[in-house]
Structure 1
């Protein structure tokens, strides 16, 4: 839940209202939760049966090694090198947006400098042996809860039902194409806000009884966060006129939580909560880059990515190249979205969300959905302490949801071209894989290496494991 909430709801409520064109934006939070639940069941089955460190990397390695060798886990790490920093870029952008509430005269260039300076500070703080990260996570959770609680409570003290529940005429037109474009944009924002429900899967090797814990962690966190988001969305709409969130010059469009606190409890309370939100944003970027820098390191150490990413700092023991690469791409994504936003009608945060979700769809979301079916066929006797309820219905629902996000990405973000960018990045990943596999002598330039690690572990005590 700490990973799911973070800075997200404080910066995306105006985007959700803009996507739907009114207070019917609550539909987006519900639709996002349903997609997260369906996709979460995919994660639950894979995480329970393949409880290793690495999450998607492990699942794709096990499922697709039979036909394509190391290609799919390599492509996942390659795409993670882009979508993880883009997620962190949204945190930096959110921080700059809320800082503008305390610094009204901040220019675009000054905002750029602040964002880059924040990332430089993160790099300095991570350039050492990091201890006490658990305390940092708990601290971030406490600050986030205080911020969210303050916004919800403040909204309740000055709530106007007529603002929150009066929908525009023809708010829902299922036969009109524009509604579905807005729905796809809202679904994209919604699933972005729920991202993090899969965090437990990346810690599978350290979870006791993952078959029971993994599904509960995923499902309970999604339901709880959905309740938080709905309370915030409805509460904010009951205080702030939704048209104000569509006005780029209005504080509610960029710092809606601060606007709520100022209107209900005064400027002093608004400043205090804004500072808490800034701390939440910084802590989420710090923790995200700490974990993200380990993704290419784990794969390289396992022989599935460029070996240079497996090198550790000689003194402090952290993956040097992974950290530098993640921070660099985060800075590039932050600056790219801000300056592209200057030449398009889309705010930088919306651009970043569109790009990162589009990159995720191909190699993570859809590939994992396919992995469930492939593993059931290839390794039918694999220990599955949890099996997806109503299989394959959740897989189908998740696939449809992700395809809606991907299919409407260009239309909902005119001038940004997220589909084209995602295809280019995956194509570059394919080229990088060919170069890497040629150097390593791996498939397709060498034999495939099939390791049914989890299946073999189940039969380690028997004389001969069943034939594959």
Structure 2
């Protein structure tokens, strides 16, 4: 009997795939899952860091740039997601764009490879941030913080261990918590401004040519991290109803909605807490609410922030758990990851693996060590790789193959590639090297696997899956 995790057990054709995932998520639920993925602990922790990086009230421009980058990149995701609405998102996009027999195998493998590392790191970063923010409510020793972060991951795994239709309902409840928290900050600050709004807007608007030199690129790395997740719906592509319409719509609604909330939240905070003070606050939302309403209200606000962070981790693990499943169901990863729960129809092996590794990482790493590294790791293969892949697809396929077409093609694609490369350089040499190292290790792993299985580039394996392509 062959072990299910051995190289020989790797499936080679779609005939070996698991049953299709049911399409039960509508536009509202998909948008909600996108938005709670985007708004985690990030904006509440990053806001002071962005102000400090730019060293002045012009910090809002970094949030604007983050929104612009997300919107430009969303055109790439929208075309690919509408044309190929399958579980796994970028895995399928890269494989189809670069060719399923050769380079597409390598690029899609590298994406799954980095997902096995980065998805648990994303989970860990959110869980660690959760435990750090929770220390506002009560002092926590280091071991207590680790216990809190690990416990959060365990609870999320338990909540996701169920059918996708009930998950959509849970997502709507969590989305309500996100809107409630941000709404309280925005309305409370703008209606009780301690600093005249005209003065705040005037200071923010006074941009100069030296702003870029002052750190706009570095600050934007942090704000873009807070926007990531607008494409979560693409990972759930095979579970979205009317995907040609709902996948692009949910992304653009999410980005515009979250950008508006972020900009208003920042404006609201610095209208109450001077930016000179805000840049040094570890718990800016708590400080903000305490300034307006006192310590009891600040504790309630902290609880809401933690609920938002929890909701984001929920959406993150939900989306990423579909990536190894898609690769295994396609015959490019260990078959065990293609298993669906016998009665609840969700990829439980993938969910447990990523969640379990996220639990381990949450006990090992610090928040500051992973945020920028996560972004640097993803840019080359995922964001730049699939943008270039879309250009290749347009050369091989007709307009009929793309239910959604971006305006002014190929300008948005070229802009996306340029901006992502700029952001990659802005992460700094150390993080650039860490991202490239992960890619290099992935190439080695791919070559080892290909050598064992006698597949490209060592020997082309012709079978029924690729015959005639």
- Could you state the TM-score of these two structures normalised by the residue count of structure 1? 0.83
Residue of structure 1 equivalent to 2:176:
142
Q: CA contact under 8 A between 2:236 and 2:319: conserved in structure 1? A: no
In the TM superposition, what are the counterparts of 1:169-208 in structure 2 within 5 Å?
172=207, 174=209, 178-179=213-214, 182-208=215-241
Answering whether residue 435 of structure 2 is matched by residue 422 of structure 1, we say: yes
Is the contact made by 1:16 and 1:189 (CA closer than 8 Å) also made in structure 2? yes
Structure 1 unaligned spans of 5+ = 248-252, 339-347, 412-416, 454-466
Greater mean alpha carbon deviation, residues 317-326 or residues 397-406: 317-326
2:150 alignment partner, one of 110, 113, 116 = 116
Say which of 134, 151, 170 aligns to 1:99.
134
Q: 1:316 to 1:389 in 2, by over 3 A?
A: closer
The answer to whether the 8 A contact 1:47-1:201 is kept is: yes
Residue 280 of structure 1 aligns with which residue?
308
Contact 1:154–1:260 under 8 Å retained in 2: no
Q: Distance in 2 between matches of 1:2 and 1:115?
A: 19
SS at match of 2:403: coil
The alpha carbon displacement at 1:131 in A equals: 6.7
CA deviations over 1:423-444 (Å, ceiling 9, x no partner): 1111111111122223333322
Shift of 1:277: 1.8
Aligned partner of residue 447 in structure 1, secondary structure: coil
Mapping for residues 312-391 of structure 1, pairs under 5 Å:
319=347, 321-338=349-366, 348-349=367-368, 351-380=369-398, 383-391=401-409
Structure 1 residues 206 and 366: CA distance shift in structure 2, 3 A? same
- Residue 157 to residue 88, structure 1, CA distance change in 2 (3 Å): same
Distance 1:333 1:354, change over 3 A: farther
Distance 1:320 1:52, change over 3 A: closer
Matched, 1:70 2:83: no
Who is 1:219 aligned against? Answer: 252
Q: Residue 97 of structure 1 contacts residue 254 of structure 1 at CA under 8 Å; is this kept in 2? A: no
Question: Do the aligned residues in 1 keep the contact of 2:36 with 2:311 (CA within 8 Å)?
Answer: no
In structure 2, list runs of 5 or more residues that go unmatched: 1-34
Match of 2:287 in 1: 259
Deviates more, 1:308-317 or 1:4-13: 308-317
Is the aligned partner of 1:307 residue 2:342? Answer: no
Q: Tell me, in whole angstroms, the C-alpha distance in 2 between the residues paired with 1:156 and 1:397.
A: 35
Query: CA 1:131/1:216 → structure 2, altered by over 3 Å: closer, same or farther?
Result: closer
Match of 2:200 in 1: 164
Q: Is the 8 A contact 1:62 1:451 kept in 2?
A: no
Query: Within 1, Cα distance between the matches of 2:464 and 2:203?
Result: 56
| Contact preservation (8 Å) 2:89, 2:323 | no
Indicate yes or no: 2:319 matched with 1:291. Answer: yes
Distance 2:345 2:86 in 1: 22
Q: Give distance in 2, aligned partners of 1:69 and 1:132.
A: 35
* Paired residues of 1:75 and 1:430 also in contact (CA < 8 A): yes
Residue 30 of structure 1: which of 45, 64, 75 is its match?
64
In 2, the alpha carbon distance for the partners of 1:333 and 1:142 equals 29
Count of matched residue positions in the alignment of Structure 1 and Structure 2:
432
Question: Is the CA contact (8 Å cut-off) linking 1:157 and 1:264 kept in structure 2?
Answer: no
- Per-residue displacement from partner, 1:117-173 (whole Å, max 9, x unpaired)? 3223434555677772122101111111111111112212321137734649x9855
TM-score of the superposed pair, with normalisation by structure 2: 0.83
CA distance in 2, matches of 1:276, 1:355: 28
> What SS does structure 1 have at the residue aligned with 2:428?
helix
Q: Structure 1 residues 144, 283: closer, same or farther in 2, change over 3 A?
A: same
The farther-off stretch of 266-275 and 119-128 is 119-128
For the Cα contact (< 8 Å) 2:36–2:308, is it kept in 1? no
SS at match of 1:230: helix
SS in structure 1 at match of 2:277: helix
Pairing of 1:16-95 with structure 2 (within 5 A): 16-65=50-99, 67-95=102-130
In 2, Cα distance between equivalents of 1:361 and 1:98: 28
> Is the contact made by 1:156 and 1:235 (CA closer than 8 Å) also made in structure 2?
yes
Answer yes or no: is 1:244 the counterpart of 2:277: yes
Which secondary structure state, in structure 2, belongs to the residue aligned with residue 102 of structure 1? coil
Q: Secondary structure, in 3 states, of the residue corresponding to 1:254? A: coil
Q: Which of these residues, 267, 287, 294, is aligned with residue 234 of structure 1? A: 267
Instruction: Give the alignment's Cα RMSD to 1 decimal.
Output: 3.0
Structure 1 residue 407 displacement after superposition: 0.8
Q: 1:269 aligns with which of 297, 306, 317?
A: 297
Offset, 1:360: 0.9
